[in-house]
Amino acid sequence: MSAVVSPPLVADPFESLNEGQREAVVHGSDGDARALLVIAGAGSGKTMTLAARVAHLIQRGADPHRLLLLTFSRRAAGEMVHRAGRIVHQALRLPSTTRPPSLPWAGTFHAIGARLLRDYAEAIGLPADFTVLDRADAEDLMALVRQSQGLAATKLRFPQKATCLAIYSRVVNSQGTVDGVLREAFPWCLGWEAELGQLFAAYAAAKAQQHSLDFDDLLLYWSALMEAPELSAHVAARFDHVLVDEYQDTNRLQAAILRGLRPDGRGLTVVGDDAQSIYAFRAAEVRNILDFPQQFPQAARVVALERNYRSTQPILEASNAVIAEAPERYAKTLWCDRPSSARPRIVTVPDEMAQARQVADRVLAWREEGIRLKQQAVLFRTAHHSAAVELELTRRRIPFVKFGGLKFLESSHVKDVLAVLRWAENPRSRIAGFRVAQLVPGVGPANARKLLDAMDASATPGGVLPEHAMPAAAREDWAAFAALWSRLRETPAWPADLDAVNAWYLPLLQRLHEDAPARQADLAQLTQIASGYAARERFLTELTLDPPAASSDEAGPPHLDEDYMILSTIHSAKGQEWGAVQILNVVDGCIPSEMSTGDARQIAEERRLLYVGMTRAKQHLELIAPQRFFVSEQARHGDRHVYASLSRFITDKAVACFERVSAQRPPGAEGAPGPSAVPDVKIDLASRVRDRWTR
Ligand SMILES: Nc1ncnc2c1ncn2[C@@H]1O[C@H](COP(=O)(O)OP(=O)(O)OP(=O)(O)O)[C@@H](O)[C@H]1O
């Protein structure tokens, strides 16, 4: 007899939505075919609304396999899918044993781009086995090309590889010219336009030769795909709905892709907050969201979410006062009904050391009040601004995790292992090959280069490697590696391939690194991550596009059951919230950064950055203003201390929203009392000690 499972009686999952949220969620059910723009103020439930809309569409019969959901990070995609799944589950009253529908097309623009390009590679002249270069690999390739062009040796200093890549990336993403980008963002590189143009052409040729795409190519080729009428309709027809989160941080290429996917706007939903646009340095275009409604034959519908569920009224008032001065924006005033008598505070401290002590004191005091460390965050403009705070927290044994530091994939051992897999996947990748060949004992750069040249010259590079003659000292180890490599190419098996590479690499790891056990733990973590992917290619591509954060080279996340606080750049804090937030260095020269004080648009972005930081706080917010702070960013002036004044964004009107305090020095900080006077006695201890040996 089979058991009959009756659906549980649950409340309407859409019941808790407010009026604006509901409007956004059900848009289109009445036949309204306009595109939808949801202007969602900070903390107004954007994630919840988008997830509920996805669930609503599925509930009304949309096929989850035909929903394209584009988010800013993989984590955001996962969160959205999870929440939408829960709502669908509830709305359809599915029994708890039934899994909610999966959304295979949820991910970042780059990850989805990589998948689509793989499908259309042959049609658009891309090699089907292309691999994706991460930033570091792309920089290395840029450096190689720069050298082969003779640009590294020029008398006047030619821009560094990272700067070259940043300029290239900005030209691509803004669809601008080298000249325009230099003028706007890299004025110190003016004069090198022609050489940079040549360099970029050679860089593009090298990528093509090596069957490699960099991050920017994923958007560039996707947008080109959407401009080819023979193919764009085919791509567009795969999806019924396209939903985009964090639209304020998209760039021109991304906007063009969306126009190609939904030329008339039908089935397109974008959600964002112009006041939180903080990625112009990656060519994000705040105009995308400001101009969105007029892009379509029939103007988009705009729904504003103005009710904030996150912060207390005084925190919201202070944040509103900061953003009120922004020159151009969708007019909205956030409100909430969480009164509190505690105003946010501006804390003045003498210098950065005092700031570090203040932060630690405050963290401990809040913890005494019952706010767990996990509910506390310290935010800052630039990753290196937290150095003193990190030291102080470590000294006082306050556990923390930092976001925005060295990444898991940047550690050399993880790169080594991934490079082996990448090279097997794509034998034309010189970057992977150059790294891996030299891991084999006895193989140096000259021999590695000879091998790669031979592979380049062959139509079947996969056949060259096992046959290649290496120096006698390397022969045995090379044969072992070649056997592994050929196996990986000929009979791929996932995730067993990774185990095979690890087994080959472990003896080398022990030879190369003193801290091998810690690094081995990273490789174990990599194996764990690998098991979540169906195939090697997907693993390599998606890991490159959205890498995990921690590595053994850093403090790393403490055990999961431990309480720890968060240190984060404001950029990395996007989309998150904490009970108590402290923001470091809220002084001119830092927010706004000294680098951006010339340009009105950059200043506007810095204002939004402070606003994003402030609106992360739920109950407590403190901005710290050291009176002296150390500047090391500006090469022109070298390292120096400056006397700082409170950030210009805290105008007189805004100041009124805060309580102002000066941090007291903790007792004893002026210097420990010296020893009292030595008693006036004369004892010849020295000869007594010496005599000990002569007696
Ligand atoms: N209708 C609602 N009723 C009660 N709480 C809500 C409602 N909508 C959202 N919230 C809560 O408000 C908080 C903020 O929501 P969410 O993180 O989705 O905001 P957001 O718009 O993405 O913010 P931001 O853009 O600042 O990152 C969350 O804690 C969420 O659970």
- For ligand 1, the distance from its centroid to the CA atom of residue 47, given in whole angstroms, is 7
Where is mean pLDDT largest: 160-169, 174-183, 196-205, 547-556?
196-205
According to the model, what pLDDT value does residue 552 have? 33
Closest by CA to 594, choosing from 618, 630, 552, 620, is 630
According to the model, what pLDDT value does residue 547 have? 60
Rounded to whole angstroms, the Cα distance separating 639 from 616 reads 32
Burial tier of 285 (Cβ tally within 10 Å: 0-12, 13-18, 19+): buried
- For ligand 1, the distance from its centroid to the CA atom of residue 309, given in whole angstroms, is 6
In Å, what is the CA distance from 686 to each residue of 161, 655, 678, 689?
64, 65, 17, 5
Each residue's pLDDT tens digit, 245-280: 999 888 888 999 999 999 999 999 999 988 887 877
Helices of type H across 277-404: 286-291, 313-323, 352-368, 387-395
Flag whether pLDDT at 550 surpasses 70. Answer: no
Ligand 1: which of 16, 44, 73, 621 to mutate, most ligand atoms within 8 Å of CB?
A: 44
Ligand 1 pocket, residue 309 CB under 6 Å = yes
Report CA torsion sign: 370, 565, 73, 521: negative
Flag whether pLDDT at 616 surpasses 50. Answer: yes
Rounded to whole angstroms, the Cα distance separating 474 from 605 reads 55
Q: Which residues contact 309 (CB under 8 A, 6 or more apart)?
A: 43, 44, 45, 336
Confidence of residue 670 (pLDDT cuts 50, 70, 90): very low
Q: Which residues contact 598 (CB under 8 A, 6 or more apart)?
A: none
595 token code pair: 């680098």
- Please identify which residue in the block is written with the tokens 């030299």: 438
- Residue type at 511 in one-letter notation: R
Q: Which atom of ligand 1 is nearest to the CA of 308?
A: 12
Closest by CA to 358, choosing from 54, 586, 615, is 586
According to the model, what pLDDT value does residue 337 have? 85
Rounded to whole angstroms, the Cα distance separating 523 from 509 reads 11
Each residue's pLDDT tens digit, 629-646: 765 444 444 455 667 789
Ligand 1 pocket, residue 616 CB under 6 Å = no
According to the model, what pLDDT value does residue 370 have? 92
- For ligand 1, the distance from its centroid to the CA atom of residue 450, given in whole angstroms, is 58
Which residues does the annotation place in the binding site for ATP? 40-47
- DSSP-derived secondary structure for 610-677: HHHHHTTEEEEEEEEEESEEEE-S-TTT-SEEEE--B-TTS-HHHHTTSEEEEPPPPTTTT-PPPPPP
In Å, what is the CA distance from 485 to each residue of 476, 479, 481?
14, 10, 6
What is the pLDDT averaged over residues 70-81? 82
The 8-class DSSP code of residue 476 comes to H
Whose alpha carbon is nearest atom 15 of ligand 1? Answer: 45
- For ligand 1, the distance from its centroid to the CA atom of residue 76, given in whole angstroms, is 14
In Å, what is the CA distance from 441 to each residue of 133, 466, 471, 509?
26, 16, 11, 12
Burial 666-681 (b: 16+ CB within 10 A, else e): eeeeeeeeeeeeeeee
Ligand 1 pocket, residue 402 CB under 6 Å = no
- For ligand 1, the distance from its centroid to the CA atom of residue 306, given in whole angstroms, is 11
Each residue's pLDDT tens digit, 5-36: 444 444 677 888 999 999 999 999 999 999 99
The overall pTM is greater than 0.80: no
588 token code pair: 């001119």
What average pLDDT does the chain have? 84
According to the model, what pLDDT value does residue 556 have? 41
CA angle (163 as vertex; 160, 168 as ends), nearest 5: 125
Ligand 1 pocket, residue 48 CB under 6 Å = yes
CB 660 within 8 A of CB 346: yes
- Residue type at 106 in one-letter notation: A
- Please identify which residue in the block is written with the tokens 């009253």: 93
Whose alpha carbon is nearest atom 18 of ligand 1? Answer: 45
Q: Which helix (H) or strand (E) holds 605?
A: helix 600-614
What is the pLDDT averaged over residues 122-144? 88
What is the pLDDT averaged over residues 603-631? 91
Each residue's pLDDT tens digit, 480-495: 999 999 999 999 999 9
Rounded to whole angstroms, the Cα distance separating 205 from 142 reads 11
Rounded to whole angstroms, the Cα distance separating 123 from 116 reads 11
Options 3.40.50.10470, 3.40.50.300, 3.30.465.10, 3.40.718.10; CATH of 313-405+556-662: 3.40.50.300
Flag whether pLDDT at 683 surpasses 90. Answer: no
Flag whether pLDDT at 544 surpasses 60. Answer: yes
What is the pLDDT averaged over residues 230-253? 93
Each residue's pLDDT tens digit, 273-329: 888 878 776 666 777 888 888 889 999 999 999 999 999 999 999 999 999 887 766
- Residue type at 108 in one-letter notation: T
Q: What kind of architecture, by CATH, is found in domain 19-113+221-305? A: 3-Layer(aba) Sandwich (3.40)
Flag whether pLDDT at 532 surpasses 80. Answer: no
Ligand 1 pocket, residue 371 CB under 6 Å = no
Rounded to whole angstroms, the Cα distance separating 680 from 238 reads 94
% of the chain beyond a pLDDT of 90: 46
According to the model, what pLDDT value does residue 674 have? 42
Rounded to whole angstroms, the Cα distance separating 513 from 335 reads 55
Lowest pLDDT segment from 140-149, 349-358, 497-506: 140-149
574 token code pair: 């996007």
Flag whether pLDDT at 197 surpasses 70. Answer: yes
- For ligand 1, the distance from its centroid to the CA atom of residue 38, given in whole angstroms, is 14
According to the model, what pLDDT value does residue 644 have? 76
Flag whether pLDDT at 568 surpasses 70. Answer: yes
Q: Which residue has the higher pLDDT, 678 or 463?
A: 463
Confidence of residue 671 (pLDDT cuts 50, 70, 90): very low
Rounded to whole angstroms, the Cα distance separating 284 from 270 reads 15
Q: Which residue has the higher pLDDT, 402 or 498?
A: 498
Q: Which atom of ligand 1 is nearest to the CA of 616?
A: 26
Q: How big is the chain, counted in residues?
A: 695
Flag whether pLDDT at 389 surpasses 70. Answer: yes
Flag whether pLDDT at 234 surpasses 90. Answer: yes
What is the pLDDT averaged over residues 31-46? 92
Ligand 1 pocket, residue 40 CB under 6 Å = yes
CB 630 within 8 A of CB 352: yes
Ligand 1: which of 18, 305, 309, 619 to mutate, most ligand atoms within 8 Å of CB?
A: 309
Q: Which residues contact 439 (CB under 8 A, 6 or more apart)?
A: 416, 505, 508
Q: What kind of architecture, by CATH, is found in domain 408-545? A: Orthogonal Bundle (1.10)
Rounded to whole angstroms, the Cα distance separating 82 from 100 reads 9
According to the model, what pLDDT value does residue 254 have? 93
Rounded to whole angstroms, the Cα distance separating 161 from 147 reads 10
- Please identify which residue in the block is written with the tokens 């690499």: 505
Ligand 1 pocket, residue 42 CB under 6 Å = yes
